[in-house]
Amino acid sequence: MAEIKKTKIDISDGALIPGKGDKPVFTAWRISFFGALALLILLPVISPDPYWRVIKFVPDGILRTFQVTTMAIILSLFVGLFTGLGRISRNVFINRIATIYVEIIRGIPLLVQLFYIYYALGKIVRVPRITAAVIAMTVCYGAYMGEIFRAGIQSIPKGQMEAALALGMSRAQAMTRIILPQTIKVVLPPVGNEFIALLKDSSLVSILAVSDLLRRGREFASKTFYYFETYTIIAIIYLIMTLFFSRLVALMEERLNRNE
């Protein structure tokens, strides 16, 4: 029989990043990033009203977007770590709980989870809007992080665990001292991509009246009726942020590959 060659397909939420072997100056990333920056600078110069007014109106929304995103990504890392450990646990009960959590949460859109936590559960326990937004994104992305950690842990050769056990370590000691430190290097790039995806999905919290970037844009547009101009600036700012962090993720991945 002819040998079947397996092909790995990499898909991420990051932007197009120039790879290590890309020589052209005008790569897709550079055109997109610097083009967006040029637009953000030129539009207020060409037409200060309303573009400059929009830019002056939204900075606090950018800060709130980063605040919500940072809090959610930190909490989802902890949730994802414990979920990933639960997914590989030999304890059937823990394994089932972690698996059910992952399957249920990944099957429900983040927008629905936001509505459910703030409005549906709000009849039982009323929580502040920003808290509800962070909880919803943590619960949602914790499930995806759990799968990333599970895959990362399982990518470490089993022989390392066996060697640690042979040296007298307990399974918990081997996991914390041998396996997890190596897992962190493996999962950093996909975790970075999840951060970018979470940054984009943070725009959904505007439906809870959280004053993020999109919400501030909506407020300005509803007052001035400059919808085209406002959402053009909002889209450019989101594009610049995602492209910038995509570049950081790519540089981080290259550094990790060099250190291997």
DSSP string, 187-226: HHHHHHHHHHHHHHHGGGGGGGT---HHHHHHHHHHHH--
The predicted pLDDT at position 20 comes to: 53
List, in sequence order, every beta strand (DSSP E) within 53-209: none
**Predicted confidence band at 162 (pLDDT cuts at 50, 70, 90)?**
confident
Give percent of the chain with pLDDT exceeding 70: 88
CB 233 within 8 A of CB 217: yes
| H-run or E-run covering 184 | helix 180-201
In 3D space, the residue among 90, 207, 88 whose CA is nearest the CA of residue 137 turns out to be 207
**Predicted confidence band at 9 (pLDDT cuts at 50, 70, 90)?**
very low
**How confident is the model over 150-159, as pLDDT tens digits?**
999 888 888 8
**What integer is the mean pLDDT of 238-244?**
93
Tokens encoding 76:
């989802």
Range ranked top by mean pLDDT from 19-23, 83-87, 160-164, 205-209 = 83-87
The predicted pLDDT at position 15 comes to: 52
The predicted pLDDT at position 219 comes to: 93
Tokens encoding 199:
């940054």
The three-class DSSP label of residue 112 is: helix
**Predicted confidence band at 110 (pLDDT cuts at 50, 70, 90)?**
very high
pLDDT of 179 > 90? The answer is no
**Predicted confidence band at 4 (pLDDT cuts at 50, 70, 90)?**
very low
Q: CATH fold of 28-259, please?
A: MetI-like fold (1.10.3720)
Tokens encoding 235:
């889209």
Tokens encoding 193:
């991509």
CB 134 within 8 A of CB 72: yes
Overall residue count recorded for the chain in this entry: 260
d(CA 165, CA 173): 9
pTM of the model: 0.84
